[in-house]
């Protein structure tokens, strides 16, 4: 009984803290988004330049703190993973809940190729991307005819099947024992085995992912995807082949998750099926939803917050998933569009001449619908 | 030029004849209205001629070619653009983006072109934007281009939808109840707008309940009732046609 009271007391405190921080942070994000979208080109370029330098200098600033550096690498890894899911969930609007499966395919492809066949990492990296993409295609063609909950269930099923295959096909994957001894990548004769090296490697992958996210979003295909997400019937009537675009987004998401998996296996030098369980898919999904479905800065922020949070919550680790749950419920009530919603930079804030209040309303209406 | 020709179209759902032996055609530059009481089979007929349903018997020719049952996106690509009775704009897009998305089926940039922004892709993107701006100008929406389309008043949303349909470069434009839910002044604007679109050379088929609008714009009116075509002709002829009057008002109305 006493224990129960303590748990309830603690959860209430955490709930209150989360409530207040979401409220405060929301104000902060809205303010920043407004400022940024009003800023002129030079200010934007300067802000981008300064943050780029800060990120590049990061490993040198924290060279003596391996803990911070390793956490940063994990943050970047999850940014890549969350952005890869964002192709499917954010752009095409398809709820995929087995994203960790593609991550696993990438990790195991690299592990098996480099350990068993002694293939170089870079070749294995490419193979991971291709094979994860093939899995995405194989799964996408039959399942993307399904909608909403049905798609979610089939993707959960796929993720679980893959994990069980990894566990039970012991002759191939060594089962629950996992595959140890995955070598570090070599580049121009140098072996990348320091945290700094890994940091730049995953940074390159993250930058690449952000880059293609933006390029895709602002292209004909991106508009087609958003159209499918907003209203599939109308999209089809505008001549948009929704099945093709959904599969494209699915495959692209799978390819990038595969690349992330490949990096993961070489970074920790060891893979086992437990790394890719259902909770992993849920965590990636939570990052996207929390940050803002379809919003690239939002997803990056969501991934960063949710991969730092477990570290910050070390002292209250038992409450970790409870806090995730409360956080999600709170977000859905207070700020359903995510920390930085996809429309934050659109419509309302672009107009300086018209009354901002009216525009704000329209923005909310758009988000609510 | 004959844009669309339907010969003896019948569509049955089980034992129910939703459309029964209907002939229909529309020529280049015409505005034709399809009217009829609720449940007359207008929507079914509309779906048959646009290839969403397959006719039980009869055939549809679009630009001289036989139209088979196809997916909606293929039909749009063939050259039939449409709007919806209940507005279906893309909610997270601005007005400009909504219209740009209409040009999807007329453009070709692939994933490679999009990611690496090849010169060809850039040129195409520029053309898409120019075309969209042109359409915005034509429909007098230029000052709204950066607003979220769904945040506009109802009348404007209709216009954005029409602009989006025009962006698909249709040979035949289908307007499904364009004046539904509009007030009198908005209806008047819509009448003017449909005329203006027709003057630009678009062939238009309108399904509409509002008689004032229908009579004001149509070159020709086709009336359906219980799946049968009961009348066809100019607005004046339709207004005097006893069959039409009795279909709308009951038998007593004709006397």
* Same domain (yes/no): B140, B14: no
For the cut 50, the answer to whether the pLDDT of residue A360 exceeds it is no
The answer to whether the CB of B60 falls within 8 A of the CB of B8 is: no
CB atoms within 10 A of CB B61: 15
Q: Whose structure tokens read 């987004």?
A: A249
Q: Which of B139, B168, B197 is the last residue of a domain?
A: B168
* Same domain (yes/no): B33, B97: no
* Same domain (yes/no): B7, B64: yes
Instruction: Tell me how many domains chain B contains.
Output: 2
* Same domain (yes/no): B126, B151: yes
**Nearest chain A alpha carbon to B112:** A216
Whether B243 and chain A come into contact, CB under 8 Å, resolves to no
Give the fold, CATH level 3, of A67-345.
ABC transporter involved in vitamin B12 uptake, BtuC (1.10.3470)
Tens of pLDDT along A40-91?
Answer: 788 888 888 888 888 888 888 887 888 888 889 999 999 999 999 999 998 8
The answer to whether the CB of A248 falls within 8 A of the CB of A86 is: no
Burial class (CB in 10 A: 0-12, 13-18, 19+), A308: middle
Separation CA B25–CA B243 (nearest Å): 21
The whole-angstrom distance between B81's CA and the closest CA on chain A is 7
Query: For B3, which DSSP code?
Result: E
CB contact under 8 A, A342 and B90: no
Higher pLDDT, A204 or B68: A204
Separation CA B75–CA B51 (nearest Å): 7
For the cut 70, the answer to whether the pLDDT of residue A8 exceeds it is yes
The answer to whether the CB of B45 falls within 8 A of the CB of B19 is: yes
CB contact under 8 A, A219 and B109: yes
pLDDT of residue B252: 63
- Do the domain assignments include residue B84? no
Q: Which of B168, B194, B215 is the last residue of a domain?
A: B168
* Same domain (yes/no): B48, B159: no
Residue B253 pLDDT level (bands cut at 50, 70, 90):
low
Q: What separation in angstroms does the CA of A261 have from each of A109, A197, B11?
A: 9, 17, 54
Contacts of A96 (CB under 8 A, 6+ apart): A85, A88, A89, A151, A152, A155, A250, A253
- What mean pLDDT comes out for the span A119-123? 87
The answer to whether the CB of A253 falls within 8 A of the CB of A87 is: yes
* Same domain (yes/no): B213, B251: yes
- What mean pLDDT comes out for the span A300-307? 88
Tens of pLDDT along B73-115?
Answer: 888 888 888 888 888 999 888 899 999 998 888 888 888 888 8
* Same domain (yes/no): B46, B71: yes
**Nearest chain A alpha carbon to B146:** A347
- What mean pLDDT comes out for the span A225-244? 89
Separation CA B176–CA B87 (nearest Å): 10
Instruction: Give chain A's mean pLDDT.
Output: 83
Separation CA A32–CA A21 (nearest Å): 16
Separation CA B165–CA B84 (nearest Å): 10
What's the pTM value of the predicted model, to 2 decimals?
0.85
Separation CA A79–CA A96 (nearest Å): 17
Q: Can you give the residue range of the structural domain that contains B58?
A: 1-79+170-255
CB atoms within 10 A of CB A260: 31
Q: Where are the domains of chain A?
A: 67-345
* Same domain (yes/no): B69, B178: yes
* Same domain (yes/no): B74, B13: yes
CB contact under 8 A, B101 and A231: no
Whether B146 and chain A come into contact, CB under 8 Å, resolves to yes
* Same domain (yes/no): B162, B176: no
Q: Which of B114, B142, B168 is the last residue of a domain?
A: B168
- Do the domain assignments include residue B215? yes
**Nearest chain A alpha carbon to B128:** A220
- Do the domain assignments include residue B85? no
- What mean pLDDT comes out for the span A158-165? 90
* Same domain (yes/no): B51, B117: no
* Same domain (yes/no): B225, B125: no
Strand, helix or coil for residue B5: strand
pLDDT of residue B251: 67
């Amino acid at each position: 009984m006493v224990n129960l009271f303590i748990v309830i007391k603690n959860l209430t405190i955490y709930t209150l803290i989360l409530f207040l921080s979401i409220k405060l942070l929301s104000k902060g994000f809205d303010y920043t988004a407004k400022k940024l979208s009003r800023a002129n080109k030079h200010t934007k370029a300067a802000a981008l330049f300064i943050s780029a330098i800060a990120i590049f200098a990061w490993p040198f600033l924290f060279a003596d703190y391996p803990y911070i550096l390793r956490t940063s690498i994990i943050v970047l890894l999850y940014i890549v993973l969350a952005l890869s899911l964002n192709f499917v969930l954010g752009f095409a609007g398809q709820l995929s809940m087995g994203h960790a499966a593609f991550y696993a395919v990438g990790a195991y492809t690299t592990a098996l190729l480099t350990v068993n066949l002694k293939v170089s990492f870079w070749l294995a990296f490419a193979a991971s991307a291709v094979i994860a993409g093939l899995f995405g295609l194989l799964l996408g063609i039959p399942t993307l005819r399904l909608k909403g909950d049905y798609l979610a269930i089939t993707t959960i099923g796929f993720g679980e099947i893959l994990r069980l295959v990894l566990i039970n096909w012991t002759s191939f994957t060594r089962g629950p024992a996992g595959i140890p001894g995955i070598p570090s990548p070599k580049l121009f004769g140098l072996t990348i085995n320091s945290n700094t090296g890994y940091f730049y490697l995953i940074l390159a992958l993250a930058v690449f992912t952000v880059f293609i996210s933006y390029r895709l979003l602002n292209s004909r295909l991106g508009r087609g995807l958003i159209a499918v997400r907003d209203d599939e019937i109308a999209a089809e009537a505008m001549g948009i082949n929704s099945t093709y675009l959904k599969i494209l987004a699915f495959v692209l998401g799978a390819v990038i998750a595969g690349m992330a998996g490949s990096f993961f296996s070489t970074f920790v030098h060891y893979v086992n099926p437990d790394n890719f369980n259902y909770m992993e898919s849920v965590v990636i999904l939570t990052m996207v939803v929390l940050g803002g479905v379809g919003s690239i800065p939002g997803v990056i922020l969501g991934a960063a917050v949710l991969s730092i949070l477990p570290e910050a919550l070390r002292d209250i680790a038992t409450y970790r998933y409870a806090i995730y749950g409360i956080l999600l419920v709170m977000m859905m009530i207070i700020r359903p569009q995510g920390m930085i919603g996809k429309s934050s930079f659109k419509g309302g804030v672009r107009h300086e001449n018209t009354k901002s209040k009216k525009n704000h309303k329209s923005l909310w209406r758009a988000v609510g619908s | 030029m004959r844009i669309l020709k339907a010969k003896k179209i019948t569509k049955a759902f089980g034992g129910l004849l939703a459309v029964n032996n209907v002939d229909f055609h529309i020529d280049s530059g015409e505005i034709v209205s399809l009217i009829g009481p609720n449940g007359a089979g207008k929507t079914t007929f509309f779906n048959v001629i646009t290839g969403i349903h397959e006719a039980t018997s009869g055939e549809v020719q679009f630009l001289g070619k036989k139209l088979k049952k196809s997916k909606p996106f293929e039909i749009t690509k063939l050259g039939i653009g449409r709007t919806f009775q209940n507005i279906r704009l893309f909610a997270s897009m601005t007005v400009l983006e909504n219209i740009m998305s209409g040009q999807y089926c007329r453009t070709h940039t692939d994933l490679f072109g999009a990611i690496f922004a090849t010169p060809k892709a850039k040129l195409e993107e520029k053309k898409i934007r120019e075309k969209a701006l042109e359409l915005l100008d034509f429909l007098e929406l230029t000052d709204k281009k950066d607003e979220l389309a769904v945040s506009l008043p109802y009348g404007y949303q209709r216009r954005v939808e029409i602009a989006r349909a025009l962006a698909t470069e249709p040979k035949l434009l289908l307007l499904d109840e364009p004046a539904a839910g509009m007030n009198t002044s908005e209806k008047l604007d819509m009448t003017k707008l449909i005329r203006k679109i027709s003057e630009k050379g678009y062939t238009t088929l309108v399904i509409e309940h509002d008689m004032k609008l229908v009579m004001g714009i149509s070159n020709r009116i086709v009336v359906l009732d219980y799946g049968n075509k009961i009348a066809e002709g100019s607005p004046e002829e339709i207004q005097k046609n006893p069959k039409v009057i009795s279909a709308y008002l009951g038998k007593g109305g004709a006397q």
